[in-house]
Amino acid sequence: MALTVQSLNDSFVKEVKGLSLWSELDGDVVVELEELWSRHGVVVFRRQALSEDEILAFGRRFGELEAVVRQDWTAAGRPEVVRISNMRNEAGERIGGLGSNELAWHSDQSYMTDPATGAMLYMVEMPHTGGNTYWANLQLAYDALPHAMKTRLEGVCAIFSYAKRQAAYQEEKPLAESIVQQTPDVVHPIVNVHPRTGAKSLYLDPSTTSGIVGMSDREGQQLLDELTAHATQPEFVYRHDWQIGDLIMWDNGLVLHRRDPFDMAQNRLLKRTTVRLSPERHILPRAV
């Protein structure tokens, strides 16, 4: 079966039309979707109606699902489903996490030794305005770097700190000791090679990276700021205007993402699943 695929806003992002993700998919369809995901980094499906079990079943077609370290954000009985929400239950308790205001540019799980890089996000309830999400393609950004900068980045590694990321979250409690122990600082190369195409890609996370190995704090931060400013230029960025029923899957080894602020008086609820992608098809950053 040949998929119906189109580029969104003339960007690197691909939309797949005509699939019902709650139904059984042929093996050749899954292979085509794997290839799209591998090469383009972000794939969009609209007009989906998915239960949490159906989201999990779809995610399992691409790899092992990850139970994230923040179990206080997950759905009851489903540790692989993270609820991203500003909503509260009848007792006034939050039903998820990351629901407050803006989220800066970041890459999921970059603070892990062996990050699971596949992510799927499903829109359930959304505000009338705001809360748009943006993805920046780090392979396109690397390609556009001056030759001198590419040479400078060879063998360079960055330090990734969950403590730094968590400190920027609004309305969050101090980290539990169990989470602190699971998330020590890690070191990843700042450039990776795609296993299918051989193309090089940056690996950045300005919300989490605390420095560059072998550089002073000032020099390391200057380099990180320069790379982030370069990678998030409009020509490398796609903005998604959400609709209820959208499911988006992206590759955290290939793209950054961020979110606009929104009216906190309006409800917003998305459900996210994290997938361990194949090292034969995707960049899998690993700590050194």
Domain spanning 4-276: which superfamily?
Answer: Clavaminate synthase-like (3.60.130.10)
| pTM > 0.85 | yes
In the chain, what are the domain boundaries? 4-276
Q: What's residue 175's pLDDT?
A: 55
In sequence order, which residues have a C-beta less than 8 Å from that of residue 227 and are 6 or more positions away? Answer: 190, 202, 204
Q: What's residue 173's pLDDT?
A: 56
pLDDT in tens, the chain (288 residues): 678 999 999 999 999 999 999 999 999 999 999 999 999 999 999 999 999 999 999 999 999 999 876 777 887 778 899 999 999 888 888 888 877 677 899 999 999 999 999 999 999 999 999 999 999 999 999 999 999 999 999 999 999 998 787 766 555 555 555 665 566 899 999 999 999 999 999 999 999 999 999 999 999 999 999 999 999 999 999 999 999 999 999 999 999 999 999 998 999 999 999 999 999 999 999 888
Residue 134: strand pairing partners = 239, 258
And the tokens for 119? 């992510």
Q: H/E element holding 180? A: helix 177-182
Q: What's residue 262's pLDDT?
A: 92
Instruction: Tell me, rounded to whole angstroms, the distance of Cα 132 from its chain centroid.
Output: 14
Angle at Cα 49 formed by Cα 43 and Cα 53, nearest 5°?
90
Q: What's residue 98's pLDDT?
A: 78
In sequence order, which residues have a C-beta less than 8 Å from that of residue 29 and are 6 or more positions away? Answer: 1, 3, 19
The Cα 16–Cα 3 span in angstroms is: 7
Concatenated DSSP letters of 79-139: EEEEEEES-B-TTS-BSSEE-SS-EEEE-TTTTSSS---EEEEEEEE--SSB--EEEEEHH
Q: Which residue has the tokens 């989201």?
A: 55
DSSP state of 8: S
Q: What's residue 30's pLDDT?
A: 96
